[in-house]
Copies of this chain bind each other. A is one copy, B any other.
Amino acid sequence: MLIARVATGDGPRHGIVRGDLVLLVHGLTDLRPTGARVPFSPNTLLAPVRPGTIYGMAHNTGPADRMLPPQAFLKPGHGAIGPGDPIPVPRGIGPVVAEAELALVIGTAARHRTLDDALDVVLGYTAANDVTARAMQAQDSLWLAGKGFDGFTPLGPVIDTELPVEADIRLDLDGTPVSRSTTTALARGFAEIIVYLSSITTLQPGDVILTGAPGADAELRPGGQVSVSVAGLSLQNPVIAASEPVGLLEHYRKVLA
């Protein structure tokens, strides 16, 4: 089942995709149909969830990462954008890269899950671009300045409730393949990630977990187009220059001097 979030005359609504229609539902945690339906159009698709919290797994790429303890970071939830939304690249912060990832969308509050029941709390998955400012990430050990910029978490186009055991992950820039990988290259799988995070905090319905980028990243430049494909879902976003001309470092060095 595919779940979309669409712009309607009454504001954003969740719905189930059926052919060329979207059958509207009460919400992400109440998938009963309201009876209303709208045409399915890629142009009306929004980020399929407005995340409460966005979690991301650090160093979860290859077998060597399994030697390290699991570790996660947070991104501001309002930094999520939808398919087709522009990714603003601020000036003066060094290279900004795309990371193609499978994102888990939580459907049920989850605390202290075990490997056996971890996946029960997953509503589905979507494609995610964990946009990262590499130089800022290197300077800020807590990563907020590396990953926290507005628009740095594109999600979509829809939520697929059939979580695959293995998912192909593809990153393309301007139509040219950059990286081909699969989630089997992740150091820790989906269930382990949920066990880890739910040992710290109660995962909430609508939370999003970026599971890690098993493939290469690619630098984003204004004017370009980036595509993240995950097990058949394809998320595309144009890249623009952020409207604010002053980069972060310049900006706060100037005003805080």
Binding site for B on A (CB under 8 A): 52-53, 55, 58, 69-79, 111-112, 114-115, 139-145, 148-150, 188, 192, 195-196, 199-202, 204, 244, 246, 248, 251-252, 255-256
Contact = CB atoms under 8 A, between A and B. Distances in A.
Nearest to A73: B142
Contact of A141 (B112, B141, B188, B246): B141
A117 B248 CA distance: 17
A78 B58 contact: no
A139 to B, nearest CB: 7
Contacts of A196: 252, 256
Contacts of A195: 251-252, 255-256
Contacts of A112: 244, 246, 251
B115 A255 contact: yes
Which of A111, A141, A196, A200 counts the most B-chain CB atoms under 10 A from its CB?
A200
Contact of A255 (B72, B114, B252): B114
A52 B74 CA distance: 13
Contacts of A58: 142
A53 B72 contact: no
A63 to B, nearest CB: 14
B74 A200 contact: no
A143 B145 contact: no
Contacts of A78: 52-53, 201-202, 204
B70 A53 contact: no
B199 A248 contact: yes
A111 B244 contact: yes
Contacts of A70: 252, 256
B255 A201 contact: no
Contacts of A55: 144
B244 A144 contact: no
A150 B55 CA distance: 15
A144 B256 contact: no
21 contacts: A55-B144, A69-B139, A70-B252, A70-B256, A71-B141, A71-B142, A72-B142, A72-B144, A74-B148, A78-B204, A111-B150, A112-B246, A112-B251, A142-B142, A142-B143, A149-B200, A195-B251, A195-B255, A195-B256, A196-B256, A199-B252
